[in-house]
Amino acid sequence: MPPTQGVSLFGTTPDGQEVQRITIASGELTVAILTWGAILQGVWPKDGTTSLTLGSENLQDYLSGMRHHGCLVAPVANRFTGGVAKIGGVVHEFERNQAGRHTLHSGSTAAHLTVWDVVEVAVDRAVLQIALEDGRGGFPGNRRVRAEFAVRGAGLRLSISATTDRLTLFNATNHSYWNLDGTETFAGHHLKIAAESYLPTDADFCPTGEIRAVAGTEMDFRRERAVRPGEPALDHNFCLSMGQTHLRDVLWLTGSSGRSMTLATTEPGIQLYDARNARRPGHGLYEGLAIEAQNWPDAPNHPGFPSIELRPGETRVQVTEWRFSQG
């Protein structure tokens, strides 16, 4: 069941910080957000008792194995191959927190691994904010990141904005896992993606640099088709455009129950991950699909990829919208 609308104490971190849960709602949708990692904890349609996104009622789960479930990854989502990236043509080194070789989701001091400040709460809207100091995680610039969650009818919109006082990198995303049926795996779901190409990866899931057409491959979701655990294995970026653009519908997910989700975004890519190594306590693998609207991964290391540089005086705004219906 969805929590009661308003702000309540969700838990306390080991170092004594309080984590709040903010529940906002429209007549069609109830949404819960945690101040830890700006996590999207749950999404409930008015006729449903099970959340459409995978969450937990236990803060400790999010501090350990569920650290990526529903969080807002910032300043940079996905990977830096070899733990390095160029900023303004200068190579910077970052924490190699993936197998000691690569940087994943900005390392151990990323924004999704801390408590965000509450700026504003309304019946159908919540605004969180975090300040990232110069040098944190190896990234230059004093940066301010703001996340606004707003429900309208049966839709949820997330607007992420960021500023900096030094040239830096920024590519945030929401990392929610979706299962529209409330089942033990996402088997039975159908998927469609408006992408003509995708990014092949190496054995460490890092982009090779090739931009490959989806036509004739198992990554072709231009027409709706069934998606099953491991068929295909998914941890790939689907290329939607060569840069940010207007908000447009790019992905459609439908469960066997008839419940459907349409995702719209301003971003040039969608990373799909099949949760083959992600598990909620008491549940199995492949429970949901991570659908991450973002720029292309490892962009600073591939000159042909859209840039993720953020300059002083610029405000980067990323918008993603989820709309739900019962067929």
Q: For all residues of the chain together, what is the average pLDDT?
A: 97
116, 10 contact by CB (below 8 A): no
pLDDT tens profile 129-170? 999 999 999 999 999 999 999 999 999 999 999 999 999 999
pLDDT in tens, 16-60: 999 999 999 999 999 999 999 999 999 999 988 899 999 999 999
Average pLDDT of span 182-189: 97
Query: 175 with 53: CB under 8 angstroms?
Result: no
Tens-place pLDDT, residues 205-229: 999 999 999 999 999 999 999 999 9
pLDDT tier for residue 175 given thresholds of 50, 70 and 90 = very high
Token pair recorded at residue 2:
């969805």
Q: Report how far residue 175's alpha carbon sits from residue 7's, in angstroms, rounded to the nearest whole number.
A: 22
Q: How would you label 44-71 residue by residue, b for 16+ Cβ within 10 Å and e otherwise?
A: bbeebeebbbbbbeebebbbeebbbbbb
Domains of the chain (ranges, CATH numbers)? 6-326 (2.70.98.10)
pTM of the predicted structure, to 2 decimals: 0.97
